[in-house]
């Protein structure tokens, strides 16, 4: 999926025309209240928010001596940072016109760092909570809550006009790839050493 979206972006295929149409439609219906709400939602996927969550959870795992989970957690967040930086600087897609009013600093548009980072960060958090919370009835709630939050963060970036639709999908696709790799690696290690986490 990531490869297909990236190819469309680089070659200005029909997906990029949809990007512009979707962006214009959302911004034409934007309101001041909507901007405030989605700006707040967007903060939940910001690098600062992800860094705070990363440090807090890492400290918790270290205190509880969950060394295997800690290593997977650190790898997930480190990979998210590297992926975002490398992909943005390799592809170098300009931001949508008018995006600067909601941006703090300058960066390229594809893929969305908020989409990529939130999928990995909240996806890993949901995975850890499912492992550490024994009540199975809560597992579905945890996963659903993470999914809703991740989608809301991605939509907030579209609503604010700081990303195109393909930026969000590309971020999700790259994030899902890395998240899957991290969780798969952790599961392999945990099954080999079932009495340690």
CA 68, CA 97: separation in Å to the nearest integer?
A: 44
Query: Would you name the residues annotated as active-site residues?
Result: 114, 163
Helix, strand, or coil here: 55?
A: helix
Residues 6+ apart with CB under 8 A from 157: 42, 45, 112, 114, 115, 163, 167, 168
- CB-based contact 5:177 (threshold 8 Å): no
CA 44, CA 120: separation in Å to the nearest integer?
A: 13
* DSSP code string of 139-169: HHHHHHHHHHHHHHHHHHHHHTTSS-HHHHH
Long-range contact pairs involving 85-92 (C-beta distance under 8 Å, separation at least 24): 87/111, 87/170, 87/174, 88/113, 91/6, 91/9, 91/10
CA 44, CA 106: separation in Å to the nearest integer?
A: 19
């Amino acid at each position: 999926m990531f490869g297909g979206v990236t190819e469309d972006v680089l070659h200005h295929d029909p997906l990029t025309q949809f990007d512009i149409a979707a962006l214009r439609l959302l911004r034409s219906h934007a309101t001041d209240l909507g901007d405030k709400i989605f700006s707040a939602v967007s903060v939940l996927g910001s690098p600062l928010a992800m860094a705070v969550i990363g440090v807090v959870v890492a400290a918790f795992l270290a205190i509880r001596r969950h060394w295997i989970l800690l290593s997977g957690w650190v790898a997930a967040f480190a990979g998210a940072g590297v992926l975002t930086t490398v992909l943005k600087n390799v592809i170098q897609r300009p931001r949508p016109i008018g995006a600067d009013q909601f941006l703090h600093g300058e960066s390229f548009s594809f893929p969305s760092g908020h989409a990529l980072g939130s999928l990995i960060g909240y996806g890993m958090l949901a995975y850890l909570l499912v492992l550490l919370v024994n009540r199975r009835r809560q597992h579905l709630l945890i996963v659903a809550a993470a999914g809703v939050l991740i989608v809301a963060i991605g939509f907030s970036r579209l609503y604010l006009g700081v990303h195109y639709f393909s930026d969000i999908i590309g971020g999700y696709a790259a994030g899902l790839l890395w998240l899957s790799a991290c969780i798969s690696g952790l599961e392999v290690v945990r099954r080999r050493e079932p009495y340690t986490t």
